[in-house]
Chain A
């Protein structure tokens, strides 16, 4: 007999943003994420309620998967921003801060949601077209002739994550390595369609950061009972390689579900082992020097191959298969039931062993040109190493984005304040947008102020020690004044602006962020090649983050009802 359980009715929330509980949760999320922002951002300890492993981080790509809420609206915003992060790696916290701040300002302004949405859209269009202009005041062209600006870009990403706990020198070292690895993945001599290579990472815990290094080729972790005969790696000719993607453990795992009937007296294990040894014999007669398998290799086969002088590597894992195949040109063998075709073999030019602390790594060098390189990252402890891992992946992605669009935006909050000043100026210049958008002039002005304040609040979020944020009234760059300084001694204590392009001078005038200033057209900087920005943000990532933030905010403002099935 089945039991009937009464279904409880769905819960409907009308105008969710007017709900104090939901509003407070959004505001908590904003505080939580804003406090992580920038090089002096605060860290968060993420763990479960039963005392599991603790992750210390301030990176959005680690934080977002950990955050889940009982409120669908919070999850909607989180998912939207997380999606941006998984596509572009960078500017997740910027997008989240801007989006939540836009929602807050729109709610405080008391404007009708549809009006706010329309004006926000218009302002976004204004920003995007300005950022894409050649003469945009907060954009710099990346010069590929020198690695300097690439290193600056990499350094900005790495320095924005304090949980890596790096000194100045270490930061520079890692930035250089990131750029070096990026350059190694660019193929040089291939005409036609260019395929980018891959940076593989290996991690060593408990070693100084400065021991980190980048190598062309592939380094495989073979720590454990690995022995390489001295004469093997001295062989200069190309060494033949075979790569298996199937398990060579000698089991019947490939058969899947279903029943197998085996006559008594037949030892299936032994028969598979015979098959494996058959394979081993062929490999040995074909003079293969390196035998690699994604999964487990039967110990008897291993013993046989080693006794014949073949280097055996098992349990490579799916992650290393693709780069290994690219590097060697081998075709992965997915079965052990046929003989190996000659074209399945790949080759490497040299095999050597490298020692990093307790880890033994086998270094394979390509015989031809190959855009595979390996980055060995070392750090003192696990917590900091795992953050460094994430940051280096992020840096690699950001550097790759520069190929698509060789430009960068000024960092340190300068782009945000500059954009805000530009919008204020532009809105004063022409009065027609209000008419076109179907709203009154005061409505337009109120919403525009909210938009600009939201941008500025993101720049302000870079400061976490109670200092004040200022903008200068010529270039509209972002400046920070330490907490214990007053505006009186500004000139002494303000060295350079956030991005490092503008220096303080007696003629310069500043105002606090969030105070009204008469709109002005932010002046572009005269091009002085000697002065280079110290902080750069990824152009592609930030542009997309800006769009995602405004569109997500608009979507959240547009939500009228939330209907939840609580069964």
Chain B
């Protein structure tokens, strides 16, 4: 059976659903996120969530639009790990814009083409206002409040700053360096020595701008970065390798205990701990196993024969006997190869762990694939699927184990946390996240990864965008300007019949962005929605009126700070600048628009396998 529900065009249900879904996550926008409880009445379970993705993960979305939104967010999240809130908010805001267009009788194809024109305008603004991270923030510490606010506004002055903004910032800092060379001769020398590698990047400054309220998380990220660049001398410090970072959460400890450790941290039982004590301060030989370490394990794709029967004269050699035989073989091999440490990506059977313990071989199971690869590279070991495959050249050397913290007495199964690292340059880093409140651990982990990815993408893009709503503001300004231009052009040239529509659509898109900026301001506290919208509108107005946009934006910038526009820290600090990621923002906007245009063009759902339902047309 197949049902089909037709969505009314003027009151497009799909767009309404999209905007309603987006509304759920309004409060998780901006640096001051509000926690939400999601409570399941039927099971009595509840979840504490803080980010837009986690909210949607915990909701059971059965409608088609919900599924589409969820798939889009997941796809974005796996690559960028931030910006999902912005994606969903704008999808909601622009779907409201599209709804309003439909009310105004604008055809779907006109809306689509005008909106894609709008997103091109925004992409252009992003490109032009991006700031190179090279040399960014170098003169910051000694700067007076008078000069800093000028740096960005000059660069992003919309009427004049076309295509040269990034350079201007560079030049500006360059000029200043020369002017103030008396104070900065040291840094200049450093620069000169590093000239062959390009300009130095002040990672601390960039990270500070990208932390978006998560101060502790970003500090951990910076520590990770320092540790990576120390362990890898040949690697530039301006690359942040996200694949070599793992997180480990420890409930029960206060949050201040969060820290960064070299190598990989694993939780072990008391029994294995004795092996650790024995192996400490030694360089160990390590075997790397991809898969399970057990007698019965077979590689993926191996199908067990079904009709196999063993014929035997004496029934002594049962399966336990075969296991024993395997065990003895593997143990002999391990002892022969002098392996002290086995890292297993899958599970290891209890028996194997015990037998190995007896021979002072430490077996660590559930090691992440990325960690396994990192160890393989650092110890020159080769990961194998079966323990019986091990040979001399597969075994890595130079691994180290060390006790990190005794966890006995905390009522947990595992009694200690142990670090496994290598003597060579293994850039694998573990971040320990702790909290007394168990349900907060997920939030902390999310925050850490969001910060890590923001820094990663900033270093990959080599540019950042001015944050705190400044980029959005520039986009609003450009969109409105373009809309007005279309209106005036129309009077001169009547052939373009679609320009009034385009102008209306662009205005509504700009309103969506204004809504975004003001919601972030509201979430940051101390401003009402009406006041926030008024402030934003005022600034855009000012920007239109004055030829000198720079002053206006700097004013907005400082006022935004003053009213807590973007900081949770409280004290307004005019020196501090806020940045956003270019690629993340562009991609989030583009995906938001893709969602809107897919939903906007959809006029019916085809549901298969329907029993018999009201308000569905059955075919």
Contact = CB atoms under 8 A, between A and B. Distances in A.
A483 interface: yes
Contact of A74 (B385, B607, B619): B619
A29 B497 CA distance: 35
B108 A465 contact: yes
A251 B304 contact: yes
Interface stretch (A64-72, A211-219, A341-349): A64-72
A54 B64 contact: yes
Contact of B307 (A225, A251, A260): A260
Contacts of B618: 25, 70
Interface string B438-463: 00000000000000000000000000
Contact of B591 (A49, A71, A380): A380
A48 B312 contact: no
A262 B298 CA distance: 19
Contacts of A68: 1-2, 608
Interface stretch (A8-16, A35-43, A134-142, A391-399): A35-43
Contact of B594 (A47, A48, A249, A380): A380
B226 interface: no
- Name the interface size band of chain B: 35 or more
B62 A493 contact: no
A466 interface: yes
Contacts of A53: 67
Contacts of B305: 251-253, 255, 260, 268
B369 to A, nearest CB: 9
B492 interface: no
Nearest to B290: A299
B303 A48 contact: no
Interface stretch (A116-124, A161-169, A407-415): A161-169
A506 interface: no
A403 interface: no
Contacts of B2: 66-69
Nearest to A483: B107
Interface stretch (A321-329, A381-389, A538-546): A381-389
A564 B384 CA distance: 60
A34 B446 CA distance: 46
Given A251-B304, A265-B317, A300 B606 contact: no
Contacts of B68: 45, 54, 56, 383
Interface stretch (B20-28, B194-202, B248-256, B595-603): B595-603
A9 to B, nearest CB: 23
Interface residues of A, number: 75
B617 interface: yes
Contacts of B597: 165
Interface in B288-330: 290, 298-305, 307-313, 317
B386 interface: yes
A74 B618 CA distance: 12
B601 A47 contact: no
Contact of B603 (A42, A46, A253): A42
Interface stretch (B71-79, B165-173, B413-421, B563-571): B71-79
B609 interface: yes
A260 B310 CA distance: 8
Nearest to A39: B109
A262 B308 CA distance: 7
Contacts of B617: 28
A535 to B, nearest CB: 15
A151 interface: no
Nearest to B120: A167
A333 interface: no
Contact of B619 (A28, A44, A167, A307): A28
Contact of B311 (A50, A52, A251, A264): A264
Contacts of B105: 483-484
Interface string B521-553: 000000000000000000000000000000000
A307 B497 CA distance: 68
Query: Chain B binding site: helix, strand, loop or mixed by DSSP?
Result: mixed
B301 A167 contact: no
B602 A56 contact: yes
Contacts of A482: 107, 497
A303 interface: yes
B100 interface: no
Contacts of B282: none
B604 A42 contact: yes
Contacts of A466: 107
Contact of A250 (B65, B302, B609): B302
B335 interface: no
B125 interface: no
Interface string B1-41: 11110000000001000000000000000000000000000
B244 to A, nearest CB: 16
A165 B393 CA distance: 52
Nearest to B619: A69
B507 interface: no
A28 B307 contact: no
A363 interface: no
B610 interface: yes
B269 interface: no
B389 to A, nearest CB: 5
A257 B2 CA distance: 40
B605 interface: yes
B102 to A, nearest CB: 11
A192 interface: no
Contacts of B436: none
B242 to A, nearest CB: 13
Contacts of A382: 71, 75
Nearest to A208: B590
Contact of B301 (A249, A252, A484): A249
A71 B494 CA distance: 53
A46 B606 contact: yes
A43 B598 contact: yes
A165 to B, nearest CB: 6
Contacts of A46: 605-606, 608
Interface of A: 25, 28-29, 32, 35, 40, 42-54, 56, 63, 66-71, 74, 162-163, 165, 167, 205-206, 225, 247, 249-253, 255, 257-265, 268, 295-296, 298-300, 303, 307, 315, 380-384, 464-467, 482-485, 492-493
